[in-house]
Chains A and B, each alone.
Chain A
Amino acid sequence: MFDKEKTEFLEIDNIEKDRLYSYFERIKKQFNHLDPLQIVAKFLIITQSISTPLEEISNFLRYYEDNLIEGKNLLDFAFEWINAQKIRFEYKKFLSNSQFENYLLAIDDCIFRFFLNYDDHVRRKILKEDVKEFKISMLYEIFFSRDDINNFQKILEWHKINVPTIFYGAQKITTNLITLRSGVARIIKKDFDNTRLSSTREVQILKEKGFKQYFQARERKLQFNGTMIERFIKFFCFSGKIIIERELENAIKQFLSSYFKFGTFYEYKDFKEELIQSLAEFINSGLTDVIKKSKSYNLNILELQISNFLKEFEKKNQIKETRLDGLAWINDLNPLLKKYLLKFLDETYEEE
């Protein structure tokens, strides 16, 4: 599962500007027939593998040229585009590992995690204060999208209609979050849909191709590991019936911990059968043949016995629909299984 804690906000100035600058110098020499603006456009096309025509990129750069703050030039602006693509890469990684219930939640969470700091950076260090909001939202749409700019005018029209710049007297009102959302929401939604589609498709392909091993391995991984219980029962058979409670508790704990994880929620009905089967299997392999024969124990009988024992617990605690954290299940089931195993051992050896 994706670890949310490890998601850090990205450093804005993390691109290797020196390396890019020397590359730009090479392009400048190579395409010395182009004008300065076209050279920057060419630089972007080559470094970012953009298939948009040079003319379209040039138009885009020209549109923003006068909106840059003093001391910033079109090359700085191009660097920001590259920087945005790096952020996009991190954001996509996050999105594909996350499980959002719906795209609206994905939009909000991704804006907060990945784009908020970038917006602050662009407004403070790249664009003039009086730049209209629709220009900023359009900038984000183009910077963060991997789609080629095929119709610059069409994108511009959409933002002009949908993203207002509001003034209170002469003062521009802060609406940066709405602008940012207008700029990136459509991109996040599209990526969200694609991510969902690809993960569904992945499972479908695996199933279609009959990758049984894949699913079997997954199922095996989910089973309870009761080797310590097995060992405990073997020891009990040979040791003259000495029960060291602490060891029994540890064995049960290992059995439960092998399945339940802290921080993950489980529903009783989802693991009940697996628990019964696994426990019966490990008890069965811990018993000697003599005991099995004398008590007529086999897997089915043990499973039935465990299942009956659990019924009382289910009834008492109305637990069938309960959903609990892994640790909580360990704490609840530990004394129960201990009670069962003590009872089982007592009944098994009572006549001897």
Chain B
Amino acid sequence: MKSVSSIVGLFFSDEINLVYENIKFSGDLSLEKKEKLKILPFKFLGPLFLTAASTKEKNWKIEVIESSLSQYQETTIDVDVIQSFFNLNSSIESEDGKTNLFALIGSPYTEDIKVIYDKIVNYIHPSIIQGKIVNESFLGGDFSFKDFIEAELIRGVNLIEMSLGSSRKIEMSLGSSRKLYCVGFMERKESDNIRESYLYTCDFDDPLKNIYLDNIPSYYVLSILPDYYENRIIETLSLFDKTTIFPNIRAIRMSHEEKKVIYLEEFLMEKNIKKSYGVILIPDNKNLAGLLQAAGLHGGGSPQMETMSFYKKKLRQILDKNKNLEETIVEINPIFDPFEKWKTDTEEGLSKIKDLLDNNN
């Protein structure tokens, strides 16, 4: 078994997307890997820039990307002692423009993500913004932002690091009893030879689609995120020599003002094929009252709002073969067409999603 180690990285991007980083790893890294590490922040922050650029009027923020880690083999003396991997992001609009503080955390424990997220959003990131303003006012032209941000990131990493080790307390959710509505269903399959992923949702000309679209960044963004971040995590883990484990996206949380989106996923490894099913959920909000009304007129059955545990259970039931995929999709949202799937693993498929689904007609 390898030594226990944790990875804590903090990336700060300013209004012109300049990225500063501080990464702390309890092990040693070769020079070559250290070089590669420098590109890592840009890759992780990529979708943040993308969501901001593609939907300027909406300006969605990624808050949490959570993944569990599984071992490739059950028993080996050289297993990596790392259990959870997650990314947390805080985006703040200030007089100086939008800044992101993005954390990358790998830990041997199942961490209390909420506490760490609160620290980043309510303390570390605002401290950077405010510290910059105060220092500028004191030092004027002598103020060096580079020195300042480097010191702040070290401070932030230390603060996060000392929170590691608390066991999970609550699910990063919108509140245990809050009901959610499913606007999309994802299917992903992956092995050495196979790589497929599909999106199921309502018809592109369904009037409900526009209401869905109004509550999410875009179908395109949501279709690429699970794959994108899973691959980035694999890349990161291999950079840190964590090669006996693979990540599985558990949840992605995004927000735009009062609107929120949660992507939930469950997976199963079967005959060396990793099968994952996920749901794109939006919480109950004022707009959804109209949505339900429209669905009633639509005649496809009334879409139900359910709790997070309901959706998790449904996803597990498909994976454990207790339930048929198509039936479950309809059960989750009767408006979805389980036989029309949108390919999300090719440029062609994604272009089609952009043109037809993301086009607000």
Contact = CB atoms under 8 A, between A and B. Distances in A.
Contacts of B81: 324-325, 328
B166 A4 contact: yes
A317 interface: yes
A175 B127 CA distance: 8
A109 B155 CA distance: 11
Contact of B3 (A104, A181, A323): A323
Given A4-B165, A177-B126, A178-B130, A324 B137 contact: no
A164 interface: yes
Given A164-B138, A178-B134, A328-B4, A105 B123 contact: no
A173 B129 CA distance: 11
Interface stretch (B47-55, B56-64, B156-164, B180-188): B156-164
B156 to A, nearest CB: 9
A176 B130 contact: yes
The A interface, classified by DSSP as helix, strand, loop or mixed, is: helix
A5 B113 CA distance: 12
A188 to B, nearest CB: 14
Contacts of A111: 123
B95 interface: yes
Given A108-B123, A111-B123, A5 B158 contact: no
Given A108-B159, A263-B109, A324 B1 contact: yes
Nearest to A9: B118
B64 to A, nearest CB: 18
A9 B147 CA distance: 33
Contact of A175 (B1, B122, B130, B169): B130
B163 A4 contact: yes
State which size class the interface on A falls in: 20 to 34
Contacts of A324: 1, 3-4, 81
B16 interface: no
B110 to A, nearest CB: 11
B123 A177 contact: yes
Contacts of A109: 159, 162
A178 B4 CA distance: 36
A105 B162 contact: yes
Interface in A71-112: 100-101, 104-105, 108-109, 111-112
A332 interface: yes
B108 interface: yes
Interface string A115-140: 01000000000000000000000000
Interface of A: 4-5, 100-101, 104-105, 108-109, 111-112, 116, 164, 166, 168, 173-178, 181, 263, 265, 317, 322-325, 328, 331-332
B12 to A, nearest CB: 16
Contacts of B290: none
B112 interface: yes
A271 B166 CA distance: 25
B133 interface: yes
Given A164-B137, A177-B123, 4 more contacts: A5-B167, A104-B158, A105-B158, A174-B130
B275 interface: no
Interface in B202-233: none
Nearest to B118: A112
A178 B131 contact: yes
Contact of A317 (B77, B108, B163, B165): B77
A287 B32 CA distance: 56
B274 interface: no
A263 B123 CA distance: 27
B3 A322 contact: yes
